[in-house]
Amino acid sequence: MLVNRSLKSELLSLLVLVFFTITFSHAQQDAWVYITDKQDVASSIANPISILTQKAIDRKAAHGVVIDERDVPVNESYINQLKGAIGITVMAKSKWFNAVHVRGTETDINSLSSLSFVSSIDFADKSLNTSKQSLQKKESKFQETFTAFNYGNTANQIEMFNGDQLHLLDYTGTGMTVAVLDGGFPNVNTMTSFQRLRDAGHILDDYDFVNRDDDVYTNTTSDHGTWVLSTMAGYVENEYVGTAPDASYYLFITEDGINENPVEESYWVEAAERADSLGVDVINTSLGYGGFYDNANYKYDANDYDGNTIYITKAANIAFEKGMLLVIAAGNEGNTGVYAPADSPNVLSIGAVDAAGSYASFSSVGSAIQPTQKPDVVAQGLKSYVIDRNDVIIGTLEGTSLSTPIIAGGITCLWQALPNKTNAEIMQLVRESASQYNSPDNFLGYGIPDLQLALNRTLSVKDIEGYEVLKVYPNPTMGSVYFKFPNNEQEVFVTIYDVFGKQVFSDVITNVNNQIDLSSLSKGVYISKIESKNISKTIKLVKK
């Protein structure tokens, strides 16, 4: 996990029944019980609104994602039978895996195999189950409409990847939905730093999967989620702006701030499944798993971080198949390497750099164990600015826990600008835009992304049917703008106006003379009207 190590130590020191707790944790085992079948699969898929929201159905249709058996919930009658079994506590469930996370003694859990609907049982303690790899979880080091924002403290961490240029083009996250799977979110419901978010109705819902509580704000064991959310959605006039201030958010607690147990994995899977059913576009996870304090046997080996072995990683792979884009913290373990689910080839794993763009020594490095380059990209994670539960802006914290949501917000805005792209296409655009795409390494991955470049490479004017007919780039520009014509066009008539409606340019642009020099114009936003026999479009041009 990527939470404050000292905070957890203080909380654990308050437990007076230490011996009892340790003894109990070893007597009690955790396991995943896999189920043989589901109920009413065909009818559920034929009538998807019975199992998914309309937004989820629309998102899947837009990106060619098939609704399948994995979208159908676990059979509740089976869950109830497990709940009624002697010595068994049901902790979580997963429709994607058709599995239930249970807790009990080894004997009581093994007795579940006699139930007709139980397909298999996988213990978290690998010594009890030779076929199942267990999960290790480790703490991370957490030390300390046209929009023109004054970013204040956050200027460097968003300008590093040109996220501010997306904001200038009105891509601030509007219409996009992000699920934050994290620790606690204390005071997000009252802090002035999130007043803008609340007034817009952009906190769509919340849920504490650890305590089964509809109100995440009652869980105050960790500030981690508040910090993370602030980097994306926080707003203080002229002092602080998150990277996706106008996106909508679901707040899900999946991290247990006191205990260390693989059930946190299962909580995460439940939250990811709910995010999918709600039509979420982007999942941000500043959590990483490698080992659990509650039982030393709950541990993964180094070779298990291969992108397809660990339970949470396999769930991340399914989440990607469902059309969501996952932005995951690489971890703060340095040479120890990335933890799950950042090892997945189907997520963007994020490392950390300092304010100057240099590698931060704590940031987890990739290895040959991962099937793809890890980390994928990096963002500022050293002395990043966040807002704490007391509504105070602080700039001394560090961790990939911060670099991850900082870039996740920017990527959310990029996907808003390119809504017809799939999750895989957006991820590749981000990688290709990065500073060392042609020479990646295991420290910075492909490097620092340039989201303005990613947008410019795909920015185009569309005709009424939606086919690409003309590319205009770069936008924003510091000087010249170029026009790339399709085969059926030879020339267009371009007129440019300032924001007051005054014409500042007018001329015919041809395939031969396809450049406009805007270097003499002042910085700002301009309106460009492009006309021909096949085209009649108006776009915004930004002069830097």
Distances 355 to 154, 155, 162, 412 between C-alpha atoms, Å = 11, 10, 14, 22
Phi, psi of 429 (to 5 degrees): -60, -40
More confident residue, 397 or 6: 397
Question: 207 forms bridges with which residues in the sheet?
Answer: 252
pLDDT attached to residue 145: 39
- What mean pLDDT comes out for the span 471-494? 80
Residue type, 101: H
CA distance 281 to 326: 9
Band the pLDDT of 223: cuts 50, 70, 90.
Answer: very high
Whether residue 98 is predicted with pLDDT greater than 70 in this model: the reply is yes
56 and 81 Cβ atoms separated by less than 8 Å = no
CA distance 103 to 87: 8
Choose the catalytic residue: 164, 182, 208, 256: 182
37 and 117 Cβ atoms separated by less than 8 Å = yes
How much of the chain exceeds pLDDT 70, in percent? 89
Q: pTM, whole model, 2 decimals?
A: 0.78
Cα distance from N-terminal residue to C-terminal residue, the chain:
41
Choose the catalytic residue: 224, 246, 281, 304: 224
Distances 466 to 151, 460, 470 between C-alpha atoms, Å = 35, 10, 11
Residue type, 264: E
- What mean pLDDT comes out for the span 101-122? 94
Alpha helices in 63-123 (DSSP H): 76-83, 106-110
User: Is 224 part of the annotated catalytic residue set?
Assistant: yes
Whether residue 131 is predicted with pLDDT greater than 50 in this model: the reply is no
Choose the catalytic residue: 44, 134, 344, 401: 401
Tokens coding 97:
């895996």
Whether residue 2 is predicted with pLDDT greater than 60 in this model: the reply is no
- What mean pLDDT comes out for the span 342-370? 97
- What mean pLDDT comes out for the span 509-514? 83
SS3 465: coil
- pLDDT tens digit string along 435-472? 999 999 999 999 999 999 999 888 655 444 444 567 78
Tokens coding 529:
């009207």
Sign of CA dihedral 22, 28, 34, 37: negative
CA distance 412 to 282: 7
pLDDT attached to residue 148: 67
* Lateral strand order in the sheet of 491-497: 503-510, 491-497, 524-531, 536-543
**Token pair 């007795």 in the structure block, residue:** 111
Tokens coding 354:
């300092």
pLDDT attached to residue 461: 52
Band the pLDDT of 491: cuts 50, 70, 90.
Answer: confident
Average pLDDT in the chain: 88
- pLDDT tens digit string along 256-313? 988 888 999 999 999 999 999 999 999 999 999 987 767 888 889 999 999 999 999 9
345 and 372 Cβ atoms separated by less than 8 Å = yes
Per-domain residue ranges for the chain? 5-128, 155-456, 461-543
User: Is 182 part of the annotated catalytic residue set?
Assistant: yes
Architecture per CATH, domain 461-543, reads as Sandwich (2.60)
- What mean pLDDT comes out for the span 373-390? 97
Phi, psi of 101 (to 5 degrees): -90, 120
pLDDT attached to residue 235: 97
CA distance 39 to 126: 31
Architecture per CATH, domain 155-456, reads as 3-Layer(aba) Sandwich (3.40)
- Taking each continuous run of H as one helix and of E as one strand, the counts in the chain are 15, 23
CA distance 102 to 113: 13
User: Is 401 part of the annotated catalytic residue set?
Assistant: yes
Length of the chain: 544
CA distance 301 to 186: 35
Band the pLDDT of 26: cuts 50, 70, 90.
Answer: low
Q: Which of 77, 72, 5, 81 is nearest to 45 (CA)?
A: 72
pLDDT attached to residue 469: 61
Q: Which of 451, 401, 399 is nearest to 429 (CA)?
A: 451
Q: What is the number of other CB atoms lying within 10 angstroms of the CB of residue 465? A: 6
- What mean pLDDT comes out for the span 126-136? 55
User: Could you tell me what percentage of the chain is helix, strand and coil, using 3-state DSSP and rounding each to the nearest 5?
Assistant: 30, 25, 45
